[in-house]
Amino acid sequence: MPTRPFDPADREQLFLYAYRAVARELHALMEASVRTQSMYQQRVEAGIDNGNEPELAGMMAVEHMLTAHSTFVYKSRLDEALLERNLNVLNHEIIRLAQ
């Protein structure tokens, strides 16, 4: 795949940069969610937590899952926009940093 220089006027390029960032964030959130849930299950197995009532470790696991799910829903909307070639669903703000 050829590499193109960054063009702030290219809507497709801007969309794909944003899409990549959301996909990466979703992956990281899903990994964190699985790790947090796994640690909570280990705490229950070790008898540290009960597992049958609200506990801090369990609530943290649920919070991670909710964050991952909301990001998944957002990415799903971007998936649809990409398939429909509706690249204008996102607005971009470009900040140029001095070199």
Q: How confident is the model at residue 36 (pLDDT cuts 50, 70, 90)?
A: very high
Render pLDDT for 17-27 as a digit per residue (tens, 0 to 9): 999 999 999 99
Q: Tell me the C-alpha to C-alpha distance, in Å, between residue 46 and each of 23, 42, 50, 58, 78.
A: 35, 6, 10, 14, 41
Q: Tell me the C-alpha to C-alpha distance, in Å, between residue 52 and each of 43, 63, 99.
A: 12, 17, 56
Question: Domain coordinates of the chain in residue numbers?
Answer: 12-89
Q: How far apart are CA 58 and CA 10, in angstroms?
A: 45
Global model pTM greater than 0.85: no
